[in-house]
């Protein structure tokens, strides 16, 4: 017997329609690429999204077409998040921090037909135009006054498309399982691979992120995502904020400490999210200026694991609660989030920080299992047994676009993340390494994340990266590369001794090397492959 309930599809335009009806004046605020602050309400955003939907249809965009963006987090990008999937097409957000060769490659692999670009990328688009043969239409995301001289010839102008088209548009009936978005992995090993999101998966993901044990969002919040809209849907905040009627603050291109602090203070942000490098910059700025972000309630940190030192600094300087999250492009990106259980109330400060260094607990919608690399058996949830992390769920990729990377998907329907991890009895996931980064010394694993956390507890350390170097006896031994905080100093032997007090004796790195900076990739992670290739001599 089937249920007698209405069968209404879960689609993305319904989110903005809801926000416009019930929160019409709640603001979307943008620091524009042109410079000034732009603000309007959800009702205005819906009207402009519908104008753009009419424009897309007029440009010949058809259901299933890929429409690319090369853009920062702005109100125009926000409108495309709804207009493109709203007409049945697929918004392909290209990461502008990819190498130009990879930008051209993903546009060709996706077979994009239209490319919307922010004016800061006009020169790049002009350079790559002839290498993107499937793109027939280029649109500069600005007004007539600000179209740069280097813009590709024949580019259309976003604000003119808005002006010339009607806000009257009826969203077509869309299959909720149809594709809505395309995002490519950062391509740290080989070519990037495309993750194809759907209407249903994205709506479910957005709903899950707003729950109290996740982002804990409501109409009372001011959401400032410091994760750009070109990667993994800005952690879904452009959908989650309007879903609950929260104010949304989009930072444009500037994510340095002073810019983030200025916007957070001016707009009274209550919820922030971003990668650890963002918060290092924010905290250094607050330390230098004596400033505070008094309105912030929660800070979510993801992309790479925060250190104990960073967690303490955020909570002490901002007076906010840190929630670490783990996820991937392939998980939309929410996988787990570190939210305390009732039994953790009253725990000591040290115990709380130790818990917060775990990636997080499972939430409904994402199943987790740890698999032994040798036997293929599932390992117990004892917090000690480490193996390959595999996931599945309604917002987890079932394959890559065009069938690439099929080896990452198991025969019984799980996605192998490439992470090495444990799960404890409370359900907390703890990543010990990426499979490609783990150091194997004398037949035993050494966790690079634990080494990085150990050295980062030193007050002089800003960032650290541990990598394995060849060793004639032990196969590999750890090398720890450390960047110091501005105005601080430390001796390598001092840092080595600091680590030795906090890890197993045989884990202690043979060398600690102080560097001016660490290479950061397009998603804010340290590029360990680059370190291994440039810092460490190749085996003879």
Catalytic residue set: 185, 330, 440, 445
Distance CA 53, CA 67 (A): 12
Distance CA 497, CA 502 (A): 9
Integer angstrom CA distances of residue 518 from 87, 101, 277, 310: 43, 23, 11, 17
Q: Among 204, 241, 202, which Cα is nearest to 223's?
A: 241
Q: CB of 498 within 8 A of CB of 454?
A: yes
- At residue 315, the 3 state secondary structure works out as helix
Contacts of 496 (CB under 8 A, 6+ apart): 480, 508, 509, 511, 512
Contacts of 537 (CB under 8 A, 6+ apart): none
Structural element, H or E, at residue 280:
helix 276-289
Q: Among 346, 282, 360, 339, which Cα is nearest to 314's?
A: 282
End-to-end CA, the chain: 69
Distance CA 179, CA 417 (A): 22
Helices (H), 330-447: 349-356
Distance CA 387, CA 249 (A): 39
Query: HEC string of 505-527?
Result: HHHCCCEEEEECCCCECCCCCEC
Structural element, H or E, at residue 137:
strand 137-140
Distance CA 249, CA 201 (A): 24
Q: CB of 45 within 8 A of CB of 245?
A: no
Phi/psi class of residue 9: alpha, beta or left (left: φ > 0; alpha: ψ in -120 to 50)? Answer: beta
CB atoms within 10 A of CB 321: 17
């Amino acid at each position: 017997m089937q249920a007698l309930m209405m069968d209404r599809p879960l689609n993305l335009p319904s989110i903005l329609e809801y926000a416009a009806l019930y929160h019409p004046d709640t603001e979307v605020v943008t620091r524009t690429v042109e410079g000034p602050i732009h603000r309007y309400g959800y009702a205005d955003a819906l009207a402009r999204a519908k104008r753009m939907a009419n424009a897309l249809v007029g440009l010949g965009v058809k259901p299933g077409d890929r429409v690319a963006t090369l853009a920062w987090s702005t109100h125009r990008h926000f409108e495309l998040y709804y207009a493109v999937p709203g007409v049945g097409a697929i918004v392909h957000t290209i990461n502008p921090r990819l190498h130009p060769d990879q930008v051209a490659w993903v546009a060709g692999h996706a077979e994009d037909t239209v490319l919307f670009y922010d004016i800061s990328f006009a020169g790049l688009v002009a350079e790559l135009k002839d290498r993107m043969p499937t793109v027939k239409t280029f649109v500069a995301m600005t007004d007539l006054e600000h179209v740069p001289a280097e813009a590709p010839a024949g580019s259309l102008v976003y604000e003119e498309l808005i002006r010339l088209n009607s806000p009257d548009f009826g969203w077509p009936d869309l299959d909720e399982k149809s594709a809505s978005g395309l995002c490519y992995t950062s391509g740290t090993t080989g070519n990037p691979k495309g993750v194809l999101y759907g209407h249903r998966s994205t709506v479910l993901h957005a709903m899950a992120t707003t729950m109290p044990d996740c982002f804990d969002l409501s109409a009372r919040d001011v959401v400032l995502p410091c994760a750009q809209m070109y990667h993994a849907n800005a952690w879904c905040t452009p959908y989650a904020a309007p879903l609950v009627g929260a104010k949304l603050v989009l930072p444009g291109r500037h994510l340095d400490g002073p810019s983030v602090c200025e916007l957070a203070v001016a707009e009274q942000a209550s919820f922030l999210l971003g990668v650890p490098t963002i918060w290092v910059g924010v905290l250094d700025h607050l330390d230098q200026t004596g400033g505070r972000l008094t309105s912030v309630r929660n800070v979510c940190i993801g992309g790479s694991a925060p250190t104990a030192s960073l967690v303490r600094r955020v909570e002490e300087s901002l007076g906010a609660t840190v929630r670490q999250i783990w996820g991937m492009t392939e998980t939309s990106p929410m996988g787990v989030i570190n939210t305390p259980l009732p039994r953790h109330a009253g725990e000591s400060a040290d115990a709380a920080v130790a818990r917060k260094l775990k990636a997080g607990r499972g939430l409904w919608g994402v199943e987790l299992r740890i698999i032994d690399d040798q036997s293929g058996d599932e390992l117990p949830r004892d917090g000690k047994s480490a193996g390959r992390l595999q996931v599945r769920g309604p917002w987890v990729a079932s394959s890559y676009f065009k069938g690439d990377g099929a080896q990452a998907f198991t025969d019984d329907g799980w996605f192998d993340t490439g992470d090495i991890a444990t799960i404890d009895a409370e359900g907390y996931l703890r990543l010990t390494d990426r499979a490609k980064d783990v150091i194997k010394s004398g037949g035993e694993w050494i966790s690079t994340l634990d080494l990085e956390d150990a050295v980062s507890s030193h007050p002089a350390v800003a960032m650290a990266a541990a990598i394995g170097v060849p060793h004639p006896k032990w196969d590999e031994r750890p090398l720890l590369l450390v960047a110091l905080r501005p105005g601080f100093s430390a001796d390598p032997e001092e840092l080595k001794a600091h680590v030795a007090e906090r890890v197993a004796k045989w884990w202690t790195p043979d060398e600690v090397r102080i560097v001016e900076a660490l290479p950061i990739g397009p998603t804010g992670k340290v590029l360990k492959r680059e370190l291994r290739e440039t810092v460490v001599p190749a085996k003879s």
